Structure 1
Amino acid sequence: MLPEGETSDKIRFELINNVILIPVEVNGLELTFLLDTGVSKPIVFNFLKAADSLQILNAEKIKVRGLGNGNDLEALRSSHNTFKIGEAVNIDQAFYAVFDPELNFAPKIGIPIDGIIGYDFFKDFIVEINYNRKFIKIKKPSEYKLRICRRCQVLELNLENNRPYVLSYVDIGANKNIPVNLLLDSGNSDALWLFEDEENDIQISQKSFIDYLGAGLSGSVYGKRSKIKKLALGKFDVQSPKVAFPDTLAIAAMKSFEDRNGSIGGEILKRFNCVFDYSNSKLMLKPNSYFKEEFSYNKSGILVENSGVRMVMELSGDQNSAVSFSGRNSVSINGVIKPNYKYNLKPVYTIYQILPNSPAEKSGLMKGDEITFINNRNTQDITLENLIGYFYDDSGEELKIIVNRNGVERKFRLILKSPLE
């Protein structure tokens, strides 16, 4: 709830790889959470800074199941915690603490993520998400009146198991609008997921390719990627969106108890400024500057992650004169600290997968290569999101990549090509 006398609050967020990251204070500890409309209770990961500092109150052991084809996870259910987001405070918040060290989304996003929060935040407020200006405005439902504008569309939300669904329509490519029940999943960085269903004509296009779709609570998710003609959200037609068809094994448990045809992810949601009104089961959409942005694929075949840091020694006052560095995750340089230099931690970006028959595979790049330069730019000075952006340039563009492979510098060139060509 908001402090007495306050009716609203504004919270700034980071938008990285189409997902929203917000500051959340848990029992006095400042953490970073992913805002995920697709989850019910908050989840905290114990392998980050929360591991040693976070108080886990009134805990009981449970098993949890999530997306992926792995096993159930062991977790603790903790109750009567204090969560603070902006000026809003909940002094009786339950959450799950997950103990699997493999469950780490930070390398794929580029910054540490301590947890996920969804329904328990949205249910108490009217939540306006301004993707353009990167802020969230929360308001007390009793003080809010929905203002419908000419460019807006109000959709009915169906809240099942504390998760929001909307009725939408997809045209796979046969000029036929197929009704689909889709989960609104702001924690999914993809545009659209559909579940194969021959009976309802939801089928994969002949133009598709196999890809890694992401990590779920119960393991990695693979599937096929393609494009469809359009997604209709009320009066708005999202043209030629990307679509992923996850492997049936990864979603088997989910489909057994959900009447659901797929998910709308962050790459589509960010094209609208959204107002979520759970108390009245409403969602208002207003197109923003991202609306007509073209949907693009990774055309390199490189999947890269932030695999750690290394310390770089630079001349004081000269950011571009790195003269030495230590090994990954090390903080000493031959045991000597030189007073005329300053020492900075810089990211290390490592290829964790090369897609078959891709430009990267044909160029000779390999899993485990550390990318040190791309098109003559030192990768230690750019973010993971900036680095990945090179892979989405136009087909026909050339990438010049230098990697560190087992201590040896190697140079590669590749020509970007869409996997659907």
Structure 2
Amino acid sequence: MKKLLYFLFFLFCGSYLMFSQSKFQLPEGKKFDKVRFQLINNLIVIPVEINGVELSFILDTGVAKPIVFSFLNEKDTLQINNTEAYFLQGLGEGDSFEALKSKGNIFKIGDAINPSQDMYAIHDATLNFTPQLGIPIHGIIGYDLFKDFVIEINYSSRYIKIYNPNTYTYKPCDKCETINLEFYNNKPFLNADIKVHDNVVPVKLLIDSGGSDALWVFEDESQGLYEHENYFIDFLGHGLSGSVYGKRAKIQELHLKSFILENVNVAYPDSTDIKLAKRFKTRNGSVSGSVLKRFNCIVDYNKARLTLKKNKFFKDSFSYNKSGIELEHHGDMIVNVDEVNSDGFSRNKINIDVALKPSYQIILKPAFVIVELRPGSPAERAGLLVGDVILSVNNRKAHQYKLQEIVHLFYGDVGERMNITIDRNGFVSNFKFKLEAPLESN
């Protein structure tokens, strides 16, 4: 299965602030708990309950304190108290933004409970993952869960196991590799080697399960970390302080001890967009979801170790978007209910049902909008524009797809035909193009 490499990097500097000490705990006598997750665009989405409200959070090793997005109307829904305003800075070239720091919240993940959890609530409704992933994403959690448990992440079967660190026992594993971790501002780093331009270069990488790319590398010619020829300029993702752009390319190999991944996607972000990330002077970049998902992992912050074992995704090839289109879910569009039902959708899946007359009904379904177009890409040359609303793809109505199913089509084989119908300011148009490799080696 081709990889969906739409990158949604999220990092903030909350770890510089002081918080009260609290911790997650399992019920007395329970050694572990198992929690199922969704794997969407290489990101782990887990159920989290806050103050009795069930939500969906991204599990992100690169975030220091939990974040809740403001579109929840959080003060009313979550009954957030004990708030204090702060200004935070994230990736991107924009300014800092305001957030509320809240203390004393009850967090529950599976059977693990923290009765006094600190978190941030962000006011800006544009700062959330829901449009990019196509499902409601209410927040992000990382360090505060990992610090209290040994956590097994089984990407292949899509579950995490939360172990009591006092009773956890490592099992012998001849096919595993254990990597020592280092921490900076409560974020985990590992040492690896990458082969680029036939040279093997040692690198220190943030472990970032909240990013769906494979690798980010900070360009540094003095260390041999660069690409001058076989690359393309692209949108890399949204940071808390704005969009991030840079080069996309390939490296020959990524070495995680004895495990070697070949022809790996790499992004070299623009240096002006990553000033915050480069505060850790010896950091060379990040390793993210498209690499991490190829392993089942044991993450142990207390012993500062990461154990990796290859899974069924290990040999999958790294691929790039061959259309040049980046899509998001923006609002809804009106659809004839008969169209939905005739294609296998049941009435109980309809969110809004408006009866106009007995023989005709309409519903609202997600609207998928082009938000970025790679310059010179086949979609741009065909005439598509940012802001176009996708109505159909390859003669199938857009509302019959999930967002990630459409994105997956853009990672198809070179030469594959795309037939896309769009709405542009009320006018319907059709565009056709063929998928093209953005790199010679892709």
TM-score when normalising by structure 2: 0.89
Q: 2 CA distance for matches of 1:63 and 1:134?
A: 35
Aligned to 2:405: 386
Answer whether contact 2:353 2:361 (CA < 8 A) is retained: no
For residues 343-375 of structure 1, the C-alpha deviation after alignment (integer angstroms, 9 at most, x for no partner) is 543111111122111101111111111111111
Q: CA deviation at 1:377?
A: 1.3
TM-score when normalising by structure 1: 0.93
1:184 aligns with 2:207: yes
Q: CA deviation at 1:131?
A: 0.6
1:276 aligns with 2:299: yes
Tell me, what secondary structure is at the counterpart of 1:128? strand
Aligned to 2:16: none
The structure whose RCO (Cα within 8 Å, separation 6+) is larger is: 2
1:337 aligns with 2:337: no
Aligned to 1:220: 243
Tell me, what secondary structure is at the counterpart of 2:337? strand
From 308, 317, 320, the equivalent of 1:294 is: 317
Q: 1 CA distance for matches of 2:155 and 2:319?
A: 19
Fraction of identical pairs, as percent: 49
Root mean square deviation, CA, Å: 1.9
Q: CA deviation at 1:321?
A: 9.8
Count residues in correspondence. Answer: 411
Aligned to 2:433: 414
Q: 1 CA distance for matches of 2:195 and 2:228?
A: 12
Q: CA deviation at 1:110?
A: 0.7
From 140, 143, 148, the equivalent of 1:119 is: 143
Aligned to 2:195: 171
Aligned to 2:90: 66
Q: 1 CA distance for matches of 2:262 and 2:339?
A: 51
From 8, 15, 31, the equivalent of 1:7 is: 31
From 229, 235, 238, the equivalent of 1:206 is: 229
The letter for the 1-side match of 2:388 is D
Which piece of structure 1 moves more, 114-123 or 200-209?
A: 200-209
Which piece of structure 1 moves more, 99-108 or 387-396?
A: 99-108
Answer whether contact 2:31 2:167 (CA < 8 A) is retained: yes
The letter for the 1-side match of 2:129 is F
Q: How does 1:353-368 map to 2 (within 5 A)?
A: 353-368=372-387
Which piece of structure 1 moves more, 50-59 or 194-203?
A: 50-59
Task: Give ranges in structure 2 of 5+ residues lacking alignment.
Answer: 1-24, 346-350
Answer whether contact 1:311 1:331 (CA < 8 A) is retained: no
The letter for the 1-side match of 2:142 is G
Task: Give ranges in structure 1 of 5+ residues lacking alignment.
Answer: 323-329
Would the alpha carbon gap of residues 86 and 340 (structure 1) be closer, same or farther in structure 2, given more than 3 Å must change? Answer: farther
Answer whether contact 2:89 2:240 (CA < 8 A) is retained: yes
Q: CA deviation at 1:315?
A: 3.8
Would the alpha carbon gap of residues 97 and 353 (structure 1) be closer, same or farther in structure 2, given more than 3 Å must change? Answer: same
For residues 226-266 of structure 1, the C-alpha deviation after alignment (integer angstroms, 9 at most, x for no partner) is 00001100110011110001110111132134431000010
Tell me, what secondary structure is at the counterpart of 1:37? coil
From 27, 36, 57, the equivalent of 2:81 is: 57
Q: 2 CA distance for matches of 1:261 and 1:316?
A: 51
Would the alpha carbon gap of residues 51 and 173 (structure 1) be closer, same or farther in structure 2, given more than 3 Å must change? Answer: farther
